[in-house]
Structure 1
Amino acid sequence: MTGFGRIFIVIGIVFIVIGIVWSLFGRLPGDFSFKKGNVTFYFPIMTSIIASIVLSLIFYLIRRF
C-alpha cells in the first residue's frame, strides 16, 4: 500500500473517531449556542480545539513514521 493510501485510511479513521466522540459527548463546556427568535447559532469552540489537538498529534505521528 502506498503512503498516500495510508493517509486516506488514517484520515477516515480519525473522522470515525471524531464522529463517535461527538455523538457521545454532544456539546462540550465551552461550546457557545445563541438562540434569538427562530435563529440558532452554534459555535463549537471547545470541540474545535480538541479536534485540532487530536489531528495535530495524528499528523505528527504520521510524519514521524
Structure 2
Amino acid sequence: MGKILILIGAVILIVGLLVQFTNLDFSWFGRLPGDIRIEKPGVSVFFPWVSMLLVSAVFSIIWWLLKKIGF
C-alpha cells in the first residue's frame, strides 16, 4: 500500500510540474459534452458528469494495470 501511495504522489507531482512549467491546456476539462451547466441570474450550478466519468475510467485503468504487474 505504501508503494502505491508513493507512486500516486510522484505522478501528481510530475503532472503538477508539467502543467506549471509547460503550455499544457486543460481548458477542455469540465466542458465536455454531457457536463451539466446551469447559469441563471444569481445562481450557477455545475455537474461535471462526463468529466468525472473520464477521471474514474482513467484511475480504474491505472489501478488495474498496477494490480496486473504486481505493484
- TM-score, length-scaled by structure 2: 0.64
Give 5+ residue unaligned stretches, structure 2: none
Secondary structure of the residue that 2:26 maps to in structure 1? helix
RMSD: 2.7
Equivalent residue pairs, number: 60
What's the CA shift for 1:37? 1.6
C-alpha distance in 1 between matches for 2:5 and 2:33: 31
- Asked which structure has the greater CA Rg, the reply is 2
1:29 maps to amino acid:
P
Q: 1:1-65 counterparts in 2 under 5 A? A: 4=2, 6-12=3-9, 13=11, 16=15, 23-26=26-29, 27-65=31-69
Deviations along 1:6-56, whole A, 9 cap, x unmatched? 312432326838xx6882423111111001222211101110111111000
C-alpha distance in 2 between matches for 1:22 and 1:9: 26
Secondary structure of the residue that 2:45 maps to in structure 1? strand
Give 5+ residue unaligned stretches, structure 1: none
Answer 1 or 2: which has greater helix percent: 1
